[in-house]
Amino acid sequence: MTEKPDLNRILAKLDEHLGKNDYSSAERHLIFWMNEAKACDDKRCMFSLANEQMGLYRKLGREKEALEALELANSLIDASGLGGTISAGTCFVNSATVYKAFGMAEKAIPLFERAKEIYEKNLPDNDGRLGGLYNNTALALSDLKRYDEAMINYEKAIGVMKKVTYGELEQAITYLNIADILESRDGRDAAKEKIDKALDTALDLLSTEGIPHNGYYAFVCEKCAPSFGYYGRDDAAKALREIAEEIYEGT
């Protein structure tokens, strides 16, 4: 019998690739170990790797592969004995985020609701996964022009991330998302003062002392930079891109 893969080691190596922005190596790594997991019928390993593939292909904009990984992961929830667990909730969040990313926000909302039921029942109110759930739910609601509901979820996300170590990064992203809601709902001119306040808050959060300047920090800086540029904060956008480049080059 083929020995089951060591999932912890697989995920640790995956984090190394992602920390270097090396998506090609990350993809090859996941495909290799997915084949190994299938060979020994390790359903839980397959489930975990399919979740990772969902995120990677979503990030790369590859809809077909992302949806294939989504279908595999969801088909393995019950087969792996994970129904109703936090792992199942995370799969629902990942799946909903894929749907949202590829213009299917209406399919995302029911999955976010299923994740919310599991997360709020099983996670403490200072768990970052709750903050991520609320933030991603708000993004999907915004796509559907359900702006007031989206704003409520953003406020919930900030409330959670204030209690999380280094949660300033996620809060910064949320404040930039709030700026987008304000523009879409109220118009840029009418909401200018509130938008500027949200941008200032986000920049302050990104500049919080003590936050490790690691691969994730680089990713967040890179993610936030275009938003500052969009609102005319070109200096801030440039500075964030330079920080991200320095971190990636040093890893």
Listed by start position, the domains of the chain span 1-122, 126-251
**Nearest alpha carbon to residue 221 among 184, 179, 168, 178:** 168
Q: Do domains 1-122 and 126-251 have the same CATH topology?
A: yes
Q: How far is the C-alpha of 244 from the C-alpha of 99, rounded, in Å?
A: 28
The pLDDT of residue 1 is 42
Contact 45, 86 (CB under 8 A): no
The pLDDT of residue 2 is 62
The CA distances from residue 28 to 2, 31, 59, 62, 123, in Å, are 20, 5, 15, 15, 33
> Residue 10 is inside which H or E element, if any?
helix 7-19
Record the tokens describing residue 125, joined without a space.
């109110």
pTM for the model stands at 0.84
**Spans in the chain with pLDDT lower than 70:** 1-2, 251
**Fold (topology level) of 1-122:** 1.25.40
**Nearest alpha carbon to residue 247 among 225, 218, 216, 207:** 218
The pLDDT of residue 20 is 84
Q: How far is the C-alpha of 48 from the C-alpha of 80, rounded, in Å?
A: 10
Q: Which amino acid, 41?
A: D
| Whether domain 126-251 has CATH 1.25.40.10 | yes
The pLDDT of residue 140 is 97
